[in-house]
Structures are given as structure tokens and as C-alpha cells.
Amino acid sequence: MREETARTVANVILGTAALGAAVVILRVPTLRRLAFGLLRTAVVTGIPAWITQETRRAWSETSNVDRLRQGYGESAEALRAKAERRKKWERGR
């Protein structure tokens, strides 16, 4: 059996198992309540965490540009290029 065929067979088996588990969860009321409760918790905690992360990242990016702009009267493109070089340099350390 070739690797590609093995992957396809494995994907079909996993898909069938997932579908079977979903049917069982949706048919049993206690499992259904548990699943929807976990889904609700994931949504309620995940979205605010993502928004917080994006806000912090944006705040960090703007503060870097503002810091660069204070000492230099450069264009926005030059400031972005400097910020990118700084990021690459920090990743390399």
C-alpha cells in the first residue's frame, strides 16, 4: 500500500469514527448538554483571549513605531522597515 493510499484510508477511518462519536453525543442528553457546555465555555473564553492578544500586539507595534519616530523625521515606510529589521534582529538573538 502506498503512503498516499494509507493516508486516505486513515482519513476515512478517522472521519467515520468522528461522525459516529458525534451521533452518539447528540443522541444522549447528558453528553449533549456536556458538549454544548464545553463549546459555550470555549467560545466565551477564547474570543476575549484572542481580542486581548491582538490588542496587546497592536499596542506593542504602535509603541515601537512611535519610539522610532521620536528621534527621526522619517517616512512611515522607513519606520516600518526599521521595525521589521528590529524584529528580525530580536528573533535572531
Quote the pLDDT of residue 65. 61
Mean pLDDT score, 17-45: 94
Output the CA–CA distances (angstroms, integers) from residue 93 to 9, 41, 86, 88, in the order listed: 44, 38, 11, 9
Number of residues that this document lists for the chain: 93
How far is CA 24 from its chain centroid?
Answer: 29
Of all residues in the chain, what percent carry a pLDDT higher than 70? Answer: 86
Q: Which residue has the higher pLDDT, 59 or 75?
A: 59
pTM: 0.47
**What is the distance between the alpha carbons of residues 93 and 20, in angstroms, rounded to a whole number?**
49
Q: Binning pLDDT at 50, 70 and 90, where does residue 69 land?
A: low
Do the beta carbons of residue 62 and residue 68 sit within 8 Å?
A: no
State the Cα–Cα distance between residues 37 and 17, nearest whole angstrom.
Answer: 22
